[in-house]
Structure 1
Amino acid sequence: MSGVMEHVDVAVPIRTAYDQWTQFEEFPHFMEGVQEVRQLSDTMTHWTVEIAGVKREFDAEITEQLPDERVAWRSTGGTQQAGVVTFHRLDEGNTRVTLQMEFEPHGVVEKAGDKLGVVDRRTKGDLTRFKQFIERRGQETGAWRGSVDRPTP
């Protein structure tokens, strides 16, 4: 497994940043390579992505969600990916968004891209575009304030 961790500071309150992140169907507006995300239920999403010319589809399950704090997920079947995004209040109008992911690169192109730091740069770019998206709007496009408790082992 490979991993990446990046963060960005956004000039919006923590609730605004968190609420926007829960709007998974908006991800194609700021995430490179994400063509579509469909919310299937409160805890399941279906992703269509294209990376290095390779199109993949997979489902992801929200494994933990705490309003204004964190959203964690893992893929189910096929593409192996897991991650967590956390939200930290810097002050009244500023929030740090930290994204940590683990993934299994497939094929020669993805493995080479991982070694060259392509995923790190893409993740940083996605967070920068998220910053621009939410700061330009000044408010979230929607919100889901429900909680998903971490499964007990």
Structure 2
Amino acid sequence: MQVLVDADACPVVVKEMLYRAAQRLEVCVTLVANKFLRTPPSRFIRALQVPAGFDAADDRIVELVIHGDLVITADIPLAAAALEKGAYVLDPRGSWFSRENIQERLTMRDVMEQLRSSGIDTGGPAPYAAQDSKAFAGQLDRFLARHVSP
């Protein structure tokens, strides 16, 4: 089992939690981004820089992910593709994507995109807050306790 991170928009606090988990549990964490990422020196942590381009990082994650991996992303189409490959998908705010909720989330994303393209200001996500970090940490810890042997 490996952890793949859609790192371009991933909050720093989430990356730091993942770095600590990688070291503590000796699990491979791979961050994929369009830009250079500085990561701590570790045999369990690597960063992959992909060429700039629409969905280049997402496409690379889909290529790498296998059944049972954990993907960290807020990107709904990427989450859907990872679920199709049998991965677990957690967003940086601590919510799980699942086969049961992905279609609803894709539909809502499409509706919001249509509203924005017609000129309606839909706002954006709330700023990342301490409760998001806490929720993510709790979900990550529970997942790793169940899926990674010490």
TM-score, normalised by the number of residues in structure 1: 0.29
Greater strand proportion: 1
TM-score, normalised by the number of residues in structure 2: 0.29
Greater helix proportion: 2
Greater relative CO, 1 or 2 (CA 8 Å, sep 6+): 1
